[in-house]
Amino acid sequence: MDPLILSRIQFAANISFHILFPTITIALGWVLLFFKLRFNRSGEEKWMDAYRFWVKVFALSFALGVVSGIVMSFQFGTNWPGFMEVVGNVAGPLLAYEILTAFFLEAAFLGIMLFGFRRVPGWLHTTATALVAIGTTLSAFWILVLNSWMHTPAGYELRDGIVHATDWFAIVFNPSMPYRLVHMLLASGLTVAFLIAGFSALRWLWGDRGAEVRATLRFGAWMGALLIPLQILAGDMHGLNTLEHQPAKVAAMEGNWETQSNVPLVLFALPDEAARENRFEIAVPGMASFILTHDFAGEVPGLNDFVAEDGTRLHPPVAPVFFAFRLMVGIGMAMLALSWSALWLMRKKRGGVEGLPKPWIYAFVGMAFSGWVATLAGWYVTEIGRQPWLVSGVLTTADALGPISGGMVASTLAAYLAVYAFLLAAYLGTLTYMARRAARHDGTSPQIPKPDAGVRVLQPAE
Amino acid sequence: MMELFGDPATWLPFAFAALMGAAILTYVILDGFDLGVGLLFPFATPAERDRMVASIGPFWDANETWLVLAIGILLVAFPVAHGVILTALYLPVAVLLVGLIARGVAFEFRVKAPTRHRGAWNRAFYGGSLAASLAQGFMLGLYVTGLQLGWANIAFAALTAVCLTVGFSFIGAVWLIGKTEGDLQLKAIHWARRGIWGMIAGIGAVSAATPLVSGRIWDRWFSFPEVVLLSPLPVISVLLVVLLWRILQRMPFENDRWAWAPFSISTVLFVMAFGGLAYSFYPYVVPEQITIYEAAAAPESLIIILVGALFVLPIIIGYSILAYTVFRGKATELSYY
């Protein structure tokens, strides 16, 4: 068994599983702060109910994010020691700053945020909530700086094959960083918007007509409707940035084989790398040129430009990048259609959530985890699109692999896959169970234990 | 400023080795007690389990972050050693990680999943704590014997695995003595009396084995005048163990006096044992193979991290103290509101 491909699958499995949870917690932290502030200002119980329900989802997602993140920090060493040996002088400080400025901040204040409501003054609880949100966002900042640097390295020089940092400003603000960071933060916001709307719609279907569920369904629809146009704009700008710095990736995304002008926008095709052409192509003439160069006659790079004289492929594998890109964009369009039509219906009928026809409620339920799918698809586009490089132009993925046997990787890969599949099922099952229980109680008013004199009532850490 | 303390290629690796040592030690003590609480789960009643979880609930996440910091420093400051150590420990690391995953998520799931699943999540919490503790002890044993895979090394690693696990359950028990009252506290005292032997055996085994690993370590301890200068370390350790044992025999005291004494003394013992290990292995980061100076990353990268660390670490310590202060006192029920 080839340790390279197995290690790649293992890393992909780990990081795919891991990113699901930060994608939720990054934006959900801010949403919780919003709920808390709305409650502080209005005193309306529905916002506190919403806080109570979603803080549980936050705690669960955070725990899954933490443990899968610890796995990531070890995998660099166990499978990819070449990465730190070659680019450690750049990657090291960035990871160190993530741990020092973000991880401890989140972890220390999470305890106060979750369990401190009746132990600390209100302002400190709100501050703790804000600091946790800041921590998750800072964490995203540092890790996206590093990831972007791997795509578009800058501010370094090579001495004896080892990367040395020369300009930290150029490293942090490397060419693709601002686009990637904004794209990911918006992805997190959209994931949470549709998660909240989806689970509120599910509770609505189960007969929950409480003020909380109305508020959160509207909130989710609004949040999605506001963010999706921004995301389309940010995605377009990110694409143009990629065209400038990683043209081979864009060629794979578009399924474009020859460098030419008037390139059509391929809506569907089966890219055939052996024949170097698309089968069953459905395309809009000139559209790809227009999107990428803002000119129908604009020239777009093709995949055949990235083949060495001896036939070695220097571009990423086409089919996964091509399909993942279409999946991501397709979900974005569905998000746009659903959130805007829902807002329009709620406004037109003046009935709020009651104005939504049944199919819209079902659509929200169906789209509850659409943010996850789109985020993963987007990451597959950008990460597979960087192959065969691990760090563009500096280090190939194959050269970073450590001296480990295929059998050893296969055994741990099987274990991780089993654990992740099980945990994902448990996570989804538990979220559904929490929603059903909340719907049954029609709201999530807590059963605060009566303070009997002398007897401490014990309650599970719910 | 890099030249302020002499050659940065000398003092920077030393500073990072010290930082990494501090992070590992903090991790072992802090996660030691919450892993230990997990190890004691099978011996407790369901109501006691909830109280035990409540005693570590607000802390465990921050405790595990010290492991990420320690591995992070190894990764960023000594990249070569990071690769060598972790590829050598590939399988025990995987066991550790699966264990940490299981216990970390069980913590949340056991109270959020349907009640009929709670037993299974409790077992996952215990099993994860057990796997993580055994793996850490196994790695410690392999590390101190030089990361070689012979039968003798594996046998020794199996011994340290058991000892560290019992040691963690001991430190978990003395934590519970401080954090609980009534019957559960009495139980914790009982657990601590049982577990103290594991800690003594563990510290003893590692102390006895390390000088035998290499002549260099032997000379560091047993040549003159070191043997005289270092003699307080084992002497004080023995006195502390005796004191700890006597306190545990007489507990509980009236008005809960001395409830934190066992935890404090155990912490001092862990610190001293760790200090002895660090003294033995310095300047090697991979025992007898790679020194911290050979493995260190470039000075201009290390200084960037050090400046940040010196600025941020006091803040981290500050808000960690805040968190422990907010949740001080006996553990009560944990609730979100």
pLDDT at A448 over 50: no
Higher pLDDT, A451 or A249: A249
Percent of chain A with pLDDT over 90: 32
pLDDT at A223 over 90: yes
The least confident of A215-229, A318-332, B141-155 is B141-155
Span B235-284, pLDDT tens digits: 888 899 999 888 888 878 877 788 888 888 888 988 888 888 888 888 88
User: What is the pLDDT of chain A when averaged over all its residues?
Assistant: 85
Q: How far is CA A428 from CA A188, A257, A461, in A?
A: 18, 41, 20
Contact: A63, B323; criterion CB under 8 Å: no
Q: Where are the domains of chain A?
A: 3-259+301-440
Looking at residue B87, what is its pLDDT? 80
Contact: A67, B104; criterion CB under 8 Å: yes
Minimal CA separation from A289 to chain B, in Å: 43
Out of B76, B316, B334, name the one closest to residue A93 (CB): B76
* Model confidence band, residue B129 (pLDDT cutoffs 50, 70, 90): very high
Looking at residue A456, what is its pLDDT? 39
- In angstroms, the CA B61 to CA A65 distance is 11
Contact: B86, A78; criterion CB under 8 Å: yes
- To test the contact with chain B by mutation, choose from A89, A117, A139, A457 the residue with the greatest count of B C-beta atoms within 10 A, namely A89
Report residue A209 as tokens.
């007509």
- Cα torsion through A106, A111, A116, A121, rounded to 10: -30
Q: Residue range B188-192: average pLDDT? A: 88
> Per DSSP, what are the bridge partners of residue A389?
A396
- In angstroms, the CA A245 to CA A152 distance is 7
Instruction: Give the CA angle between residues B256, B257, B261 to the nearest 5°.
Output: 110
Out of B98, B305, B334, name the one closest to residue A115 (CB): B334
The least confident of A111-125, A438-452, B247-261 is A438-452
Out of B87, B109, B312, name the one closest to residue A78 (CB): B87
H-helix or E-strand spanning residue B290: strand B290-291
Out of B62, B86, B114, name the one closest to residue A74 (CB): B86
Contact: B335, A104; criterion CB under 8 Å: no
Contact: A70, B67; criterion CB under 8 Å: yes
Contact: A459, B334; criterion CB under 8 Å: yes
Handedness of CA B186, B187, B192, B193 (dihedral sign): positive
Beta carbons within 10 angstroms of residue B239's beta carbon: 11
CA-nearest of A419, A414, A412 to A78 is: A412
Instruction: Give the CA angle between residues A14, A17, A18 to the nearest 5°.
Output: 80
Looking at residue A371, what is its pLDDT? 93
Span B148-188, pLDDT tens digits: 878 888 888 888 888 889 888 999 999 998 888 888 888 88
Interface A-B, measured as beta-carbon pairs within 8 A, has a size of 254
CA-nearest of A239, A215, A235, A223 to A191 is: A223
- List the single residue in B with minimal CA-CA distance to A81: B83
User: What is the pLDDT of chain B when averaged over all its residues?
Assistant: 84
Out of A78, A423, A446, name the one closest to residue B337 (CB): A446
- List the single residue in B with minimal CA-CA distance to A416: B98
* Radius of gyration over every alpha carbon of chain A, rounded to an integer in angstroms: 24
Contact: A115, B51; criterion CB under 8 Å: no
pLDDT at A282 over 50: yes
pLDDT at B197 over 80: yes
Out of A85, A89, A101, name the one closest to residue B301 (CB): A89
Within 13 A of A149's CA, how many CA atoms are on the CB side? 27
- In angstroms, the CA B300 to CA A7 distance is 31
- In angstroms, the CA A233 to CA A284 distance is 21
pLDDT at A144 over 50: yes
Handedness of CA A319, A320, A324, A325 (dihedral sign): negative
Instruction: Give the CA angle between residues A110, A113, A118 to the nearest 5°.
Output: 140
What SS3 string covers chain A?
CCHHHHHHHHHHHHHHHHHHHHHHHHHHHHHHHHHHHHHHHHCCHHHHHHHHHHHHHHHHHHHHHHHHHHHHHHHHHHHCHHHHHHHHHHHHHHHHHHHHHHHHHHHHHHHHHHHCCCCCCHHHHHHHHHHHHHHHHHHHHHHHHHHHHHHCCCCEEEECCEEEECCHHHHHCCCCHHHHHHHHHHHHHHHHHHHHHHHHHHHHHCCCCCHHHHHHHHHHHHHHHHHHHHHHHHHHHHHHHHHHHCHHHHHHHHCCCCCEECCCEEEEEEEECCCCEEEEEEEECCHHHHHHHCCCCCEECCHHHHECCCCCECCCCHHHHHHHHHHHHHHHHHHHHHHHHHHHHHHHCCCHHHHCCHHHHHHHHHCCCHHHHHHHHHHHHHHHCCCCEEECCCEECHHHCCCCCHHHHHHHHHHHHHHHHHHHHHHHHHHHHHHHHHHHCCCCCCCCCCCCCCCCCCCCCC
The least confident of A9-18, B22-31, B276-285 is B276-285
Residues 6+ apart with CB under 8 A from A333: none
Contacts of B327 in chain A (CB under 8 A): 111, 115-116, 119
Looking at residue A172, what is its pLDDT? 92
Beta carbons within 10 angstroms of residue B19's beta carbon: 19
- In angstroms, the CA B134 to CA A412 distance is 17
- Residue where the block lists tokens 């669960």: A60
Report residue B178 as tokens.
């401080």
CA-nearest of B277, B259, B86 to B164 is: B277
| ipTM associated with this complex | 0.81
Residues 6+ apart with CB under 8 A from A240: A292
Looking at residue A447, what is its pLDDT? 43
Looking at residue B3, what is its pLDDT? 59
- List the single residue in B with minimal CA-CA distance to A412: B94
Contact: B319, A110; criterion CB under 8 Å: no
Report residue B272 as tokens.
């001293």
The least confident of A159-173, A442-456, B274-288 is A442-456
The least confident of A179-193, B126-140, B265-279 is B265-279
The least confident of A304-308, B213-217, B238-242, B258-262 is B213-217
Contact: B87, A402; criterion CB under 8 Å: yes
- To test the contact with chain B by mutation, choose from A78, A80, A405, A447 the residue with the greatest count of B C-beta atoms within 10 A, namely A78
- List the single residue in A with minimal CA-CA distance to B56: A111
Beta carbons within 10 angstroms of residue A160's beta carbon: 5
Contact: A78, B308; criterion CB under 8 Å: no
Q: What phi and psi values does residue A444 have, to the nearest 5 degrees?
A: -120, 35
Amino acid symbol at A354: E
Contacts of A412 in chain B (CB under 8 A): 90-91, 94
Beta carbons within 10 angstroms of residue A76's beta carbon: 25
A447 in Cβ contact with A462 (< 8 Å): no
Contacts of A74 in chain B (CB under 8 A): 71, 86, 93, 97
Residues 6+ apart with CB under 8 A from B224: none
